[in-house]
Structure 1
Amino acid sequence: MQIDPVKIISFNVNGVLNMIKMNKILSKLKKERAQIALLQETHMNQTDHLRLKRKGFKYVFSSSVKSKHKRGVAILISGTLNYEHISEISDEEGRFVRVIGKIEGSEITILNVYAPPGSDWVFYRNIFDLMVDSQGTVVRGGDFNFRLDPKLDSSNPTNHTNPLIRKINSYIVEMGIMDVWRDLYPSAKDYTHYSGSFKVYARLDYFFMFKVDRFKIKDCDILTRDLSDHSPISISLQVARKKRNTLWKFNSYIFNDPAIVCNIKEEIKGFLEINDTGEISAIIILPHSEKATFSLRFLPKSTSVIVL
């Protein structure tokens, strides 16, 4: 049975304590048909976060700064999903929360991140390591406050890449992690944040996944910026989709074509003329006396052959 894709929206709301703004944010998420929402900079404490359990969102997992209304992240999960909770971890600085659970029986790890400006390499590396120490399909979203590609991810492009970004890019390549939106749109320019102070647009909000799960991605979009200085971003996933195992078999019937057989004989002859120098073992190279008599007619039609 085909299961509908799960839609996840990540949104830096830049404060949601105000009840009117909270209702607008939740209404926007509902209008966009978000089933899982990753909110950053909620500016809420743990008790305040429970007020987000509205508009159809049944589960709320959050991280807050104790007794201070700053930072703050929350993961909201809709009651329309068949969600089974397994575990949750969060830090004490309101920067990330990670939940592991099952959706329609398929394991999924959701990591919501807010990286404050000036975050160092140790913080980013630990966040990426949390992806590795996860289960099932891993989705990491949020506001990372960096531009992975200084040329494409800013309206004020530069050829200079600082050491931190070089480390991050090197690390995600090494770990087999991809920037989902950039993977789908390799040369596109679009942005998720506008800085009024510097008059610059930048892409600071990302979804990261492992490349092995790319086949589960249906789409990834940057949505309209209206209720915050950040645009929401969305991703739709076929969480329960299984990768098809395909078996390739060589079509041995092509050897019935005289032109192909002749061409292969010529290639083998050329190979032997170059490589049969007397310095290479006869086990690897056909003996000189067999060159003229070698024929593909001795190959049975059922034989699978790879010609290098």
Structure 2
Amino acid sequence: MSNIKMITLNVKGINHIIKGCKILSSLKKDRVQIALLQETHLTDSEHLKLKRDWVGQIYYSSFNSKSRGIVILIHKNLPFTLNTIVRDTDGRFILITGLLYGEQILLEVFMHQILLIDCFIQTFWQKPPLCVRITVCNPHVKDFIFFSHPHFSFSRIDYMFVSRSVLDRTRGCLINTCAFSDHSSVSMGLLPPYYDPLSRHWRLNPAPLSDPEFVKYLENQWELFLSTNELPGVSASTLWEVGKAFLRGSIIAFTSAKKKSTLTKQLVLERDITNLEREVSADTTELYRYKLNFKPIVASIKNDLNRWFDRPLSWMGRISLIKMNVLPRILYPIQMLALSVRLRRDSESDRH
């Protein structure tokens, strides 16, 4: 029985068409069925444009194209029936209730999730029948969702609250890799009350036909099939029907292998990003931050100064190079990182 995969993510604006397409494609690849997105920075008309591809139902609360914005995306194959919807006119929260697999459910998304959910619980329930799923699933894991560069601090600001009546049907709650935003997404699986199988029909994806390697592979497979099965006693109709099944299997094998190879590379990159995030969160000393951020910049500046040393430049030209090239490269990390930089004389830099 497949789980209902839900995900919450602070996207920090998806009004750029490329970023929006990448996020929707990533959600489709991960087989997300309910997506709760915050900080969309979209208007009402722009929110409606998200209803494409795998998205069947969309519920949103807008403010303007510069800030706030909440949206709930529901997969087109999910049998959800809406009953009521409550939304904020300032784009801070949205609340929907409805039927999913015959059960009454409540979905909520808040901009400042912890505070507003606590207030909501205390207002509507005297004894809150909710628990934080991410804490229940990972009681001993120290992981974070957001990293503040100016303050060099880590925090958890997104949580999954579930009812205790369905706590035994939840399947894992994970903090995923930070890929499209400065926030990491939180995903959770929910087991439906009964199995609802879907009839699947195979269709040819025309995109691989533009790949010369794929076309060459099909030609070789078809020649192999004809050389093996084109016999005197076999009719043309039988040969064609069997050939279609053979080609379909060959196409599935090729695309699956290529998809697996691409996914493996992506997982390696995501694992590297996750390891780096954990390494940074584990070592928060100033020396580590200096080595990670300043040493590469200082080395690059030294290389540039060595290259410019023998150039026939005037004093004003050298001053302009420092102002336009060197200073902007060191001002940004100094402003963004809370470091006490100790100044020392560097003979190699001073002589330039």
- Taking the aligned partners of 1:239 and 1:109, their CA distance within structure 2 comes to 15
State whether structure 2 residue 88 is matched by structure 1 residue 91: yes
Q: Would the aligned equivalents of 2:122 and 2:128 in 1 still touch at CA under 8 Å?
A: no
**TM-score of the superposed pair, with normalisation by structure 1:** 0.59
Question: How far apart are residue 187 of structure 1 and its match?
Answer: 2.2
Deviations 1:166-225 (CA, angstroms, capped at 9, x unpaired): xxxxx9xx5232110101111210111111111222211110112232112111111111
Aligned residue in 1 for 2:241: none
Relative to structure 1, the CA distance from residue 225 to residue 26 in structure 2 (aligned partners, 3 Å threshold; closer, same or farther) is same
Question: How far apart are residue 127 of structure 1 and its match?
Answer: 3.0
- Taking the aligned partners of 2:74 and 2:124, their CA distance within structure 1 comes to 19
State whether structure 2 residue 186 is matched by structure 1 residue 233: yes
Aligned match for 2:68, one of 68, 71, 84: 71
State whether structure 2 residue 148 is matched by structure 1 residue 199: no
State whether structure 2 residue 162 is matched by structure 1 residue 209: yes
Paired AA for residue 82 in structure 1: P
Paired AA for residue 112 in structure 1: V
- SS, match of residue 229 in structure 1: coil
Aligned residue in 2 for 1:220: 173
Aligned residue in 1 for 2:28: 30
State whether structure 2 residue 125 is matched by structure 1 residue 128: no
- Higher fraction of strand: 1
Q: Would the aligned equivalents of 1:56 and 1:78 in 2 still touch at CA under 8 Å?
A: yes
State whether structure 2 residue 142 is matched by structure 1 residue 189: yes
State whether structure 2 residue 51 is matched by structure 1 residue 53: yes
- Higher fraction of helix: 2
Cα root mean square deviation, aligned: 2.3
Aligned residue in 2 for 1:278: none
Deviations 1:5-61 (CA, angstroms, capped at 9, x unpaired): 211111100000000000011111111110010000001111111011123101110
Q: Which has the higher contact order (CA 8 A, sep 6+)?
A: 1
- Taking the aligned partners of 2:85 and 2:168, their CA distance within structure 1 comes to 26
- SS, match of residue 4 in structure 1: coil
Aligned match for 1:178, one of 123, 126, 131: 131
- Taking the aligned partners of 1:189 and 1:83, their CA distance within structure 2 comes to 35
Relative to structure 1, the CA distance from residue 61 to residue 223 in structure 2 (aligned partners, 3 Å threshold; closer, same or farther) is same
- Taking the aligned partners of 1:131 and 1:182, their CA distance within structure 2 comes to 23
**TM-score of the superposed pair, with normalisation by structure 2:** 0.52
- Taking the aligned partners of 1:23 and 1:240, their CA distance within structure 2 comes to 32
Matches within 5 A, 1:152-163: none
- Taking the aligned partners of 1:12 and 1:130, their CA distance within structure 2 comes to 26
Aligned match for 1:106, one of 103, 107, 116: 103
Equivalent residue pairs, number = 195
Aligned residue in 2 for 1:17: 15
Question: How far apart are residue 105 of structure 1 and its match?
Answer: 2.1
Question: How far apart are residue 68 of structure 1 and its match?
Answer: 5.1
Question: How far apart are residue 129 of structure 1 and its match?
Answer: 5.1
- Taking the aligned partners of 1:94 and 1:15, their CA distance within structure 2 comes to 13
Relative to structure 1, the CA distance from residue 178 to residue 191 in structure 2 (aligned partners, 3 Å threshold; closer, same or farther) is same
Q: Would the aligned equivalents of 1:61 and 1:74 in 2 still touch at CA under 8 Å?
A: yes
Paired AA for residue 127 in structure 1: F
Question: How far apart are residue 124 of structure 1 and its match?
Answer: 4.6
Relative to structure 1, the CA distance from residue 131 to residue 71 in structure 2 (aligned partners, 3 Å threshold; closer, same or farther) is farther
Relative to structure 1, the CA distance from residue 113 to residue 239 in structure 2 (aligned partners, 3 Å threshold; closer, same or farther) is farther
Aligned residue in 2 for 1:8: 6
Q: Percent identity, aligned pairs only? A: 31
- Taking the aligned partners of 1:179 and 1:131, their CA distance within structure 2 comes to 18
User: Which residues of structure 1 form unaligned runs of 5+?
Assistant: 133-170, 242-308
